[in-house]
Amino acid sequence: MGLVGAEAVGFFAQQGMDVVGIDNDMRADYFGPLSSNINNLKRMQSSIPNYSHHNTDVRSRDELEAIFKDHGSSISLILHAAAQPSHDWAGRHPETDFSVNAVGTMNLLELARQHCPEAVFVFVSTNKVYGDRPNGLPFVEQNSRWEVDPSHGYAAHGIDEGMSIDGSTHSLFGVSKTAADLMVQEYGRYFGMKTACFRCGCITGPGHAGAQLHGFLSYMARCAVNRTPYTVFGHDGKQVRDNIHSLDLVRAFWSFYRSPGSGEVYNMGGGRDANCSIIEAMEMCERLTGLPFDAQFGGAERKGDHVWWISDTRKFRAAHPDWVPEYGIERLMEELLAGEKESAIIG
């Protein structure tokens, strides 16, 4: 059970819900044993009595259907956070990537329609559905980051849901997630199911098993604590990402669950309150640890990688004014570093 799934299990179990998890730890296959979800699973099984687990692949329609049949119409929420999350990995394994991200989503949607059509269906999508179109924005180079020209409409609040997904290079990961995203929307609009796509930038938190190819802030915190060299891929480290804490994201899911719509799409992230460039993140690590950060520049720029992404979350906030994120970027980094230090001590 990965970062978002584990956070959701704890949160929804605290609300008094019985939670059923589906995860076969393919993350360890993608990124190696250090990125395994096994510790999250052990912790949940030992501490959350109203949690049950199935070691099931989302591509296995028959195994999934057995789970849906067991629970039937008692299912009130399906949170779909299972994914192959790296566009670098997808480029080497396109069939596996598409089968997990697109076919797995189709399996869950159709089984939900057949067995629990009134359930709320929340899909963890990605800003990669927009491909590299954000790179066509007018940028201004600053000392530590790229920024959108102050006169542009996206400068104040970030990128909204009106950006086109067409005519851009998505990466194969972006394509598989876009296919899933559109299907989630269509099951909402065509069948009237209560569905939402949350198009996230970077999601992180102390439970994140960050890897070089995915989860840069978590991986950076690990490098800072363990004094491991960090490779910067392209853009001179000035590329900007927003970051949302997994708990803030799950609280947004809870808000949608209590007041759902059909076929909704929301850009979701840290927005202007929680964003940084690679350089700025390294400077935070140095300031918060008191240690120099070992960075190696010159890694090849990743195809389709965003120069600048900040999510405009105003659409979601307008529909769900009860949602107020709690984590700014420095508090996020402090928590990541503390989690890595604790892991280093335990290890």
29-49 pLDDT, tens digit per residue, is: 887 887 787 888 888 899 999
Is residue 22's pLDDT more than 60? yes
234-284 pLDDT, tens digit per residue, is: 899 999 999 999 999 999 999 999 999 999 999 999 999 999 999 999 999
205-215 pLDDT, tens digit per residue, is: 887 766 666 66
Instruction: State the Cα–Cα distance between residues 309 and 240, nearest whole angstrom.
Output: 6
- Return the number of other C-beta atoms located less than 10 Å from residue 342's C-beta: 12
Beta bridge partners of 240: 277, 308
Stretch 312-335: mean pLDDT: 97
Mean pLDDT check: name the lowest of 12-21, 191-200, 206-215, 238-247: 206-215
Q: What was the pLDDT predicted at 108? A: 98
Domain 3-346, CATH: 3.40.50.720
Q: Where are the domains of the chain?
A: 3-346
Instruction: State the Cα–Cα distance between residues 299 and 140, nearest whole angstrom.
Output: 22
149-158 pLDDT, tens digit per residue, is: 999 999 999 9
| One-letter amino acid for residue 279 of the chain | I
**Confidence tier at 86 by pLDDT (50, 70, 90):** confident
Mean pLDDT check: name the lowest of 11-15, 138-142, 243-247, 342-346: 342-346
Stretch 183-207: mean pLDDT: 95
Average pLDDT, the chain: 93
Exposed, middle or buried, 14 (CB in 10 Å: 0-12/13-18/19+)?
Answer: exposed
Instruction: State the Cα–Cα distance between residues 6 and 10, nearest whole angstrom.
Output: 6
Q: What was the pLDDT predicted at 211? A: 64
99-142 pLDDT, tens digit per residue, is: 999 999 999 999 999 999 999 999 999 999 999 999 999 999 99
Q: What was the pLDDT predicted at 298? A: 78
Is residue 321's pLDDT more than 90? yes
Is residue 347's pLDDT more than 50? no
pTM, 2 dp: 0.93
Segments in the chain forming alpha helices (H): 3-14, 26-31, 38-47, 61-71, 87-92, 94-98, 104-115, 171-191, 216-226, 246-258, 278-289, 314-319, 329-346
Is residue 230's pLDDT more than 60? yes
Q: What was the pLDDT predicted at 341? A: 85
